[in-house]
Every structure is written in C-alpha cells, then in structure tokens.
C-alpha cells in the first residue's frame, strides 16, 4: 500500500468518525429539546391547577433560630422558557417553573452581630426578598449597636431545567423548595417525562416523592 493510499484510509476513518459524532450530537440535541418541550407543557398545565388550589407549603424556612416561616401559601405559579441559537438552530436555553410562598405579614428584626446579619441577608437575597436595613449607632459614642431589618417574607421558589444538547442531559436547579437552599442535579433527557415530572410536582406540593432517586451529581447548598 502506497503512502497516498494510507492517507486515504486514514481520511475515510476520520470522516466516518465525524459522521458518527455529528449524528450522535444531533440525536442528543433532539432528546434535550424534547425534554424541555415536555417540561414546559407539563409546567404550564400544573401552574393552572395549583393557582386554583394554592396549596399550603409543608416547609419551614428559618430566618434564624427564633424567626421561622411556616404554613406559607403557594401562589403565582408560572411557567416560562427562553430560546437560543445553537449551530444555526433555535433550541431551548432553559425552562422554569416559579411560584411564591406568601406570608402576608411584615417582619421586623435586629442583628447585633455582623456574621448573623450577613447570614440573614444571604437568606433574604436567596429568596428574592426585598428588605430595608438600618444601622443603629450609639448617639453618644457612635459605636455600632445593631442592624434593624424590615421586610415582607414572600419567598421565591423555582425549578429550572437547563439542557446539555451535546450530551443529551438536563440539569435541574431547584431553589428554596425545602428551605433557603439550592438543589442541583443531572438527569438523562430521556427520563424527563410524566413520571419524573409528577414526582417534581409532588415535591412542590409537599407530598412524599421520589424525584431525587437515581439522579446524578446531586448537590445541596444551604444559605
């Protein structure tokens, strides 16, 4: 076999590999986008039902050791999505289901230890709560006394799906559903259907669920 023949053989092998790789990526892209389409349809219907039912959450959110938020009504359910361009084609950037746990009351509290104030502010920002903060100082010495906070603790809750089109997987990012925390995980796109989404719906409504069973790269980050 001559050198040119050897180069042709190598080129044919490379072309075959590229074709296989391209076909695999196209298939994974279709699976990832199909999962997002299924989730968006499911979330849209789920939001309609839960906005009527407005279930009371079974979660307790801890602002600190003394201030707990419980029996919060879940409302304002809404489904949304965003698109992007990938290799010249419109695909999903993400799909999200949001709601709000509403307290209906104004809360006032004070922190005289800066690390405690930082932790509280982190939890409020995690939940999307707008707050007023006023530093109080001794009028005679000017020394710091405490920081006083005022806010209405309406907590933003969300489940966001972000597709990995090349791999055919979907990343979930669930925020504030079990407290002031973020839960991230990965699932194959092929698993995103009615059965798995039913478990997520049960999680939202506080029912026993198996949503986290069999997931990959599970991580919980508490604020």
CB atoms within 10 A of CB 40: 18
CB atoms within 10 A of CB 135: 10
pLDDT value of residue 11: 72
pLDDT value of residue 2: 73
Instruction: Give the helix ranges, DSSP H, for 54-136.
Output: 114-126
- Residues 188-198 have a mean pLDDT of 96
Residue 189 in this model has a pLDDT that exceeds 80 = yes
Secondary structure of residue 77 in the 3-state scheme: strand
Any idea where the domains of the chain sit in the sequence? 3-60+73-105+153-222, 109-152
pLDDT in tens, 147-178: 999 999 999 999 999 999 999 999 999 999 99
CB 83 within 8 Å of CB 94: no
Two tokens, residue 210: 């198996």
Sheet holding 131-137, edge to edge: 107-111, 144-151, 131-137
Residue 12 in this model has a pLDDT that exceeds 90 = no
- Residues 182-200 have a mean pLDDT of 97
Closest C-alpha to 60, from 98, 103, 96: 103
Residue 212 in this model has a pLDDT that exceeds 60 = yes
Predicted confidence band of residue 204 (pLDDT cuts 50, 70, 90): very high
pLDDT in tens, 101-145: 998 899 999 999 999 999 999 999 999 999 999 999 999 999 999
Instruction: Give the helix ranges, DSSP H, for 54-179.
Output: 114-126
pLDDT value of residue 7: 61
pLDDT in tens, 13-64: 666 666 556 688 999 999 999 999 999 999 999 999 999 999 999 999 999 9
pLDDT value of residue 104: 83
């Amino acid at each position: 076999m001559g050198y040119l023949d050897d180069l042709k053989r190598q080129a044919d092998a490379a072309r075959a590999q590229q074709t296989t790789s391209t076909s695999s990526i196209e298939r994974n892209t279709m699976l990832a986008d199909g999962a997002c389409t299924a989730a968006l349809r499911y979330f849209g219907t789920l939001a309609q039902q839960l906005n009527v039912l407005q279930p009371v959450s079974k979660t307790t959110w801890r602002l600190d050791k003394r201030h707990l938020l419980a029996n919060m009504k879940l409302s304002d359910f809404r489904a949304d999505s965003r698109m992007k361009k990938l290799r010249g084609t419109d695909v999903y950037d993400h799909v999200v289901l949001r709601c709000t746990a509403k307290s209906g009351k104004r809360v006032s509290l004070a922190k005289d230890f800066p690390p405690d104030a930082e932790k509280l502010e982190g939890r409020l920002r995690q939940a999307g709560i707008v707050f007023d903060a006023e530093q109080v100082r001794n009028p005679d010495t000017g020394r710091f006394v405490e920081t006083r906070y005022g806010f209405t603790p309406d907590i933003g809750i969300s489940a966001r799906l972000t597709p990995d089109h090349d791999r055919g997987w979907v990343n979930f990012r669930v925020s504030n559903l079990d407290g002031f925390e973020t839960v991230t995980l990965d699932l194959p796109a092929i698993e995103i259907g009615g059965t798995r989404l039913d478990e997520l719906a049960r999680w939202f409504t506080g029912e026993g669920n198996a949503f986290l069973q069999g997931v990959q790269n599970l991580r919980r980050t508490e604020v």
